[in-house]
């Protein structure tokens, strides 16, 4: 007789896309201390994730790819990651990891797995495999990326579910692709559902989303938004399973900074003070909704204002400081009519356009030409020179793009 049956009730956390040490972009920060805090935002969010696991006494943590943005700039980020995992190991919490397009085995030259050691379990990249969680009636299935651009349907070859167990699949995928996401490990929700697992812990897409329930097919989203393209609360899912059934599925915000864009419809008869009053009401609402999480703010006015740009920014900064001296930071001020202009952009506008579009390396590069051409005047929309080159880094690609567009802007007839 089995006197120590495997537990069928447990808790776990599903997270992905940590992008440790990836910078937050475009914030206009003047105080060195604040700038340093923002620079460490991805690390702070990960510390918050570990704190969540410890405080809620979960049994295991799932990390579904893109822990890093590529090869480490220094060993400090790897050591930081391992130190945080050690906190979980001391508490008896298991960690299961798959590598995605950013942290694929071929992109991390240092011994990532060796550094982690017994603090976490990595799934192999050669083929999908399965592992049982000690003490629990849980089987986890997963596969890492060997190369950044995995275009095969990995899910198709995942193992069959273990009979009688709670089955979890970990997969880094864009599903069927779509806007802003390169088609890595393509598959469909219906394929995942048909696999027979109880929960799919997905990574790669940076917006949290529950795509199916019973079984659950879930993107946890990025842990910390890094630009205005990654707006709103970011975090992870805390899952409670009771007697083999998912009883609670709670999204927990963990971001150190929340990116928010607000749009102010400016009436033609409004004074500047009336416009600023309307802005203050909207920002106060967003600040209250963030419940203490600092906000990086982009403001878009529906029309140009009859005020000097520097004076307007000073007035806006004053509004922000009145609402919160430390919890609101300005990312940018935009005007709708400026966005719609059809004239050729100047050099700074070109650089800003490319910088806004290039936060996710492979996702951007895979779609760069069509995405950028859609946003540029017709005069600039053709070039073989901007074609995707597989072995270029993001920074190299951006440099080529900026140089080309600047030359074409100044002499459009002679650039090939």
- 191-225 residue pLDDT tens: 999 999 999 999 999 999 999 999 999 999 999 99
Determine the pLDDT at residue 398. 57
Helix (H, G, I), strand (E, B) or coil at 179: coil
Q: Of the given ranges (241-250, 253-262, 304-313), which has the lowest mean pLDDT?
A: 304-313
d(CA 366, CA 401): 14
Name 76's Cβ contacts closer than 8 Å, sequence gap at least 6. Answer: none
pLDDT more than 90, % of the chain: 61
Mean pLDDT of 407-412: 51
Q: Where are the domains of the chain?
A: 10-253, 258-339, 347-410
- Examine the pLDDT at 241 and tell me if it is beyond 70: yes
Determine the pLDDT at residue 321. 94
Instruction: Please write down the HEC assignment for all residues of 283-339.
Output: HHHHHHHHCCCCEEEEEEECCCCCCCHHHHHHHHHHHHHHHCCCCEEEEEEEEHHHH
Contacts within 8 Å (CB) and 24+ apart, 410-413: 412/379, 412/380
Q: pLDDT digit string (tens) for 164-186?
A: 999 999 999 999 855 455 679 99
Determine the pLDDT at residue 26. 66
**Better-predicted residue by pLDDT, 44 or 29:** 44
Q: How many CB atoms lie within 10 A of CB 211?
A: 15
On average, the pLDDT of the chain sits at: 83
Name 291's Cβ contacts closer than 8 Å, sequence gap at least 6. Answer: none
pLDDT band at 36 (very low <50, low <70, confident <90, very high): low
What predicted TM-score, i.e. pTM, was given to this entire model?
0.80
CATH of 10-253, one of 3.60.21.10, 3.90.76.10, 3.30.300.130, 3.50.50.60: 3.60.21.10
Give, in order, the Cα–Cα distances in Å from 168 to each of 16, 132, 158, 295, 390. 15, 10, 11, 34, 33
Helix (H, G, I), strand (E, B) or coil at 193: helix
Helix (H, G, I), strand (E, B) or coil at 51: helix
Q: pLDDT digit string (tens) for 70-123?
A: 777 778 889 999 999 999 999 999 999 999 998 988 877 678 888 899 999 999
């Amino acid at each position: 007789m089995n006197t120590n049956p495997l537990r069928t009730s447990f808790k776990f956390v599903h997270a992905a896309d940590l992008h440790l040490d990836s910078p937050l972009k475009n914030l206009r920060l003047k105080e060195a201390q604040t700038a340093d805090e923002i620079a460490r935002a991805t690390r702070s969010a990960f510390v918050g994730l570990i704190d969540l696991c410890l405080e809620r006494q979960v049994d295991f943590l799932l990390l579904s790819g893109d822990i890093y943005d590529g090869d480490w700039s220094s060993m400090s980020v790897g050591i930081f990651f391992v130190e945080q995992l050690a906190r979980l190991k001391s508490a008896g919490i298991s960690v299961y990891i798959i590598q995605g397009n950013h942290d694929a085995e071929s992109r991390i030259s240092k011994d990532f797995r060796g550094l982690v050691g017994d603090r976490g379990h990595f799934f192999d990249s050669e083929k999908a495999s399965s592992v049982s969680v000690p003490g629990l009636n849980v089987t986890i299935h997963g596969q890492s990326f060997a190369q950044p651009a995995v275009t095969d349907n990995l899910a198709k070859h995942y193992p069959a579910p273990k009979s009688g167990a709670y089955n979890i699949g970990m997969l880094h995928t864009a599903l069927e692709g779509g806007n802003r996401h390169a088609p890595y490990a393509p598959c469909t929700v219906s394929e995942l559902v048909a696999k027979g697992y109880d929960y799919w812990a997905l990574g790669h897409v940076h917006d949290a989303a529950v795509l199916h329930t019973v079984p659950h097919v879930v993107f946890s989203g990025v842990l910390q938004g890094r630009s205005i393209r990654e707006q709103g609360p970011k975090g992870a899912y805390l899952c409670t399973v009771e007697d083999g059934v998912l009883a609670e599925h709670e999204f927990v915000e963990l971001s150190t900074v929340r990116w928010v864009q607000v749009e102010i419809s400016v009436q033609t008869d409004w004074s500047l003070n009336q416009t600023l009053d309307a802005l203050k009401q909207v920002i106060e609402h967003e600040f209250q909704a963030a419940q203490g999480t600092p906000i990086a703010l982009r403001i878009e006015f529906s029309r140009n204002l009859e005020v000097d740009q520097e004076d307007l920014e000073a007035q806006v900064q004053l509004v922000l400081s009145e609402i919160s001296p430390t919890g609101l930071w300005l990312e940018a001020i935009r005007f709708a009519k400026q966005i719609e202009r059809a004239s050729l952009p100047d050099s700074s506008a070109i650089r800003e356009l490319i910088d806004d579009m290039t936060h996710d390396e492979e996702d951007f590069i895979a779609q760069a030409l069509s995405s950028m051409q859609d946003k540029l005047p017709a005069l600039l929309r053709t070039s073989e020179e901007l074609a995707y080159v597989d072995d270029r880094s993001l920074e190299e690609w951006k440099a080529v793009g900026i140089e080309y567009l600047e030359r074409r802007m100044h002499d459009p007839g002679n650039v090939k």
